Structure 1
Amino acid sequence: MNTWEDNSDNIGEPAKKKACTDASVSQKTGTSLKFLSWNVNSIKRVLERKQLINLVVQENPDFLCLQETKLTEDRIPGAFLLPQYHKYFCCCETKRGYSGTALFSKTAPIAVYKDFEGAYPEHHKSGRLIVAEYENFYVASIYVPNSGDKLKNLEYRLHSWDPDFRRYVVELQTKKPVILLGDFNVAHEEIDVYAPDRLRSKAGFVASEREHFSQFLKETNTIDTFRYLYPRQTQAYTFWEYKTGGRIRNQGWRIDYCLISCSLVERLMDSFILDKVQGSDHCPVGIRLLWSA
C-alpha cells in the first residue's frame, strides 16, 4: 500500500476546497472497520491465480466489494470461497458472463438489495448494484456503466443511469448514511488521468460525465474520500488499459472510488489505493472508518 503525501507544492493549480469540515483524520486512533473494493474483471481468474485469496489474507477487510465478477446465478462459487464472510452476489441476467457485483462482509446484514429492487426497470437484472443494510449505514458495491466506444452508451449513462442512481442514493440517505464503493467509470478531475488534454473525448473523461459526478457528490452529500485526504496527490490511479501497456508506465486513470456520506467524515481514518496488487486492469481501493465494536 502506498503512503500518499499531499504534494500541494508540486503542482500549479490552486487547492480544491474540501467538501466537509476537516476532521483531523491523521490524529484518530481506535477500533476501525476496513472496506475494500476491487473491479476484478472476472472473479474466476483472480480465484484461480489466488490473487483474491492473497488480498484478503493480507488486508483482512471487514467488507469486500467486487465488480465485474462476470458470474451467472448457476456458477456462483461455493461456500469454500472465503468462508469467514457472508457473501452476496448480483449477477447480470440479460447478458451471460457480463458485469456483476458482489459484497462480502464479516457481519450479516439486516437486508440485501439488488439492482434498485426493480424501482428503475431499465436497470433491472443488470448486475450493477448490490446494497447491504446494517444498523448504522448502508454499504454498496457499484459498477457504473461505461459510456463505451465512440460514446455509444453516453446517452443512457447521462439520462438514465446517472439520475436514477442519484435519486436512489438520496432516498437511502434519508434513512441512514451510505458507503459507496466501486467502479464509477469516470475520472473526476484532470489530476485523475495521466494525459487530460489527450483524453477529453474518451469515455470516462468526457466533460458531461465529470459534471454529472460533481452533481452526484453534491446532491447525495457524499465525498470522494481519497481526494478529501489527498487533494493534490498526482499519479494515483486505479485503472490501466491492457492493450496499451499502461500499467508499466503508470499511464492510468482513477475511476474507482470510496465515497461516504459527509456525516461519516469524522470517522474517516484513511483512504488508500493498493496499486501493487495484480490480477485485473483495476487495482483495489479502500478506506478505514473509526468504529467501536
Structure 2
Amino acid sequence: MFRPRLTVSIGPVTLTRPARLLGAALAAGLALVPFTWVLCDLAALGSPAELFWSWTGSRFGTGRVRAATTLLDPLLCLAATGTVVAALRSRHAAGALAATGAVTLAVRLPGLWTHGTGPLVTALLELALAAGLLTTALAGRRPPAGPGERTPTRPRPGQAAAAGALLAVAGLVLLAWELRWAAELAPRFAVDRFTGGRSVPGAALGVPPGWLALVLTGLHLTAAASAFAAARHTRPLGLLAGGLLLGTGLAEAARLARLHLHPDVRYVVAPELDLPALATTLYGVLAGAAVLLLLAGRGAPDPAPALRSPAAAPAPPYPRPPGW
C-alpha cells in the first residue's frame, strides 16, 4: 500500500512587534557598549587620527597611550546600529538580529579569559546582549497573518551567485593565511594566536588574531552558502559579512599606504612590499564593496501561487437513463 511521505517545510516568518522593540533595545545596548569605549579612547589619545591609526595597527605617530579598542569595535557598533534601524522599520528583521547576535557572541568569547576587570565586564555584558538578540530572533517569529502580508524576499539569482562567489573566495583566502601562519610559527606562538597569549600583545578589547580570522572565515563561508541557496536570510548575513570585509580591507590598505608612502619616516632598510598581503587587501576592499552593492537592493518577489484548474465534470453514466 502506498503511503504518502511526510514533508516539513519552513516558510517565511516575520517578527512580532514586542520582539522588534526588544530586539531594537538589545541592539542599541550592543552599539552603546563599544561606543563608550571609543569615546574613552578619544579622550585618552586626544585625536581621532591617532585613534584611527591605532586601529589600523600603524606604529607611526602614536603616542605612549595605548587604545583599548580595535577596528572591530566601531564596525560592530555600526552593525548593531543598523540592526536597530532594521528592527524598528521592518517586520523582517529576524535575520539581522540573529546575524548580529551570532557574530558578537563569537568574537566576544575570548574576552572571558582576559585579565582586566573592565574588558571582562564588557565581554560578559556583550555576550548577554548578543544571546538576548539570538533568543529574540528565534522566539519572536510568527508565520504571516495571511496571503496578502509581505514576507522576506530572496535575493535575485544572479546577484546572489556573484555575492556568494566573492564571499567564498574571501573566506578561503583568510583560511589560507591562517594555514600559512600555522606552518611558519612555532606551536606555542600558533596557539597564542587563538588564545591571546603573551606573545600576541593587543588592545584591552582586542580579539586574538587567529580566533578573529576563523570567525570571519566562518561568517564569509556561511554567507556564501546562503547566497548560493538563495535563502531568505542571505541579505542581512551577506551585508554584515561584506561590511566587515570592506572595513578591514580599508584599514589594512591605509596601514600599507602609510607604511610605504609616509613622508616623515626614514628607514635604514626600506620595508619590502608584501605583494600577497597587498593583493588580499585590495580584494577585500573591492569584494566587500561589491557584496554591499549586490545585496543592498530589493530582493526578487515571490512567484504568485499557481491557480488550480477547475475539476473536470464527471463522465455521464452508462447506460444513460431515460431523458438524459
TM-score higher than 0.5: no
The structure with more strand, counted as a fraction of residues: 1
TM-score class, shorter: under 0.3
The structure with more helix, counted as a fraction of residues: 2
TM-score (norm 1): 0.26
TM-score (norm 2): 0.24
